[in-house]
C-alpha cells in the first residue's frame, strides 16, 4: 500500500483516496501486490509467513473486504498478487519446520531452498501441499471476493533452475526438458482449472519471464 507520505498506507486510505483516482483515470482493474502476511517488510510481501491472512500492517481483514467491496461498486476488478512459488524460511512464524521436520511442505536438501531468494520451495508432488495451496486460492476468492490472481514467480516454479543463470533462446528443449518441474506445472494447471471451474469469469495471470511464446491468454 503506497502513500504520498513516508509511511505504510492503510486499506482504508487506499479505499477512500486511491480507488476514486483509479476510476477517474479510466482503469477497470487494480492489482494489489503481495498482501499475504509476512514478517519481513523488505520482501514487499513475497516472503509469506501466513498464507491464510492478509497483512495486518495495512489494517484489519474487514477493512480489506471493505476496500474490495468499494472497488466493485466503482466497477473495478481486484486482482491479488498471490505467492504460491515459495514461502518464508522463518521457523517461528512460518511453515518452515512446522511439524519439526524439514520436509512437511517442502523439498528436502538443496532443492527445497531458493538460493537467491533465501526461501523454501514447495513440493508440488505432495498431496497435502496441493490441498493446502488449492484451498488457499479458493479461500481468497470466496472469503475476500477477489476477481482473480496474478501468480508470482511462475518461472521459478516451472524449472528446477528457477530461470536463474540460464538463457532461454527458443529451443523447445529449454522449456520442456529435464529441468522442467512437472509437478509444479501440473499444480498450475490444477489451480487454474479450479479457479475457472468455480468462477468462469475470473482472471488468472502467470508471471513467466522465460519467453513470450510460453504465455497466452486464458
d(CA 54, CA 136): 12
Q: Which of 63, 69, 174, 207 is an active site residue?
A: 207
Q: Which of 37, 81, 152, 181 is an active site residue?
A: 152
The C-alpha cell that represents 72 in the structure block: 466493485
Please list, residue by residue across 160-182, b when 16 or more beta carbons sit within 10 angstroms of its beta carbon and e when fewer do: eebbeeeeeeeeeebbeeeeebe
- CA nearest 206: which of 142, 161, 163, 145? 163
- CA nearest 1: which of 72, 70, 81, 76? 81
Residue 55 gets the label, from left (phi > 0), alpha (psi -120 to 50) or beta, of beta
Quick one: CA dihedral 86, 67, 19, 22, positive or negative?
A: positive
User: How would you classify the pairing of strands 77-82 and 48-54?
Assistant: unpaired
User: How would you classify the pairing of strands 77-82 and 29-32?
Assistant: parallel
Active site residue 207: yes
Give the number of other CB atoms < 10 A from CB of residue 57: 15
d(CA 20, CA 169): 43
Question: Could you give the residue numbers annotated as active site?
Answer: 152, 207
Amino acid at each position: 500500500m503506497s502513500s504520498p507520505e513516508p509511511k505504510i498506507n492503510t486499506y482504508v486510505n487506499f479505499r477512500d483516496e486511491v480507488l476514486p483516482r483509479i476510476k477517474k483515470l479510466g482503469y477497470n482493474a487494480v492489482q494489489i501486490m503481495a498482501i499475504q502476511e509476512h514478517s519481513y517488510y523488505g520482501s514487499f510481501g513475497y516472503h509469506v509467513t501466513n498464507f491464510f491472512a492478509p497483512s495486518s500492517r495495512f489494517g484489519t481483514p474487514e477493512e480489506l473486504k471493505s476496500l474490495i467491496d468499494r472497488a466493485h461498486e466503482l466497477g473495478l476488478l481486484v486482482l491479488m498478487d498471490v505467492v504460491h512459488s515459495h514461502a518464508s524460511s522463518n521457523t517461528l512464524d512460518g511453515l518452515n519446520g512446522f511439524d519439526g521436520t524439514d520436509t512437511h511442505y517442502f523439498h528436502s536438501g538443496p532443492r527445497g531452498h531458493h538460493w537467491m531468494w533465501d526461501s523454501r520451495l514447495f513440493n508440488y508432488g505432495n498431496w497435502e501441499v496441493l490441498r493446502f495451496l488449492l484451498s488457499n486460492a479458493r479461500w481468497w476468492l470466496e472469503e475476500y471476493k477477489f476477481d482473480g490472481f496474478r501468480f508470482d514467480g511462475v518461472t521459478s516454479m516451472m524449472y528446477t533452475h528457477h530461470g536463474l543463470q540460464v538463457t532461454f533462446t527458443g529451443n523447445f528443449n529449454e522449456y520442456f526438458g529435464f529441468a522442467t518441474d512437472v509437478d509444479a506445472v501440473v499444480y498450475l494447471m490444477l489451480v487454474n482449472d479450479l479457479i475457472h471451474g468455480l468462477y468462469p469469469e475470473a482472471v488468472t495471470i502467470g508471471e513467466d519471464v522465460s519467453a513470450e511464446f510460453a504465455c497466452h491468454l486464458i
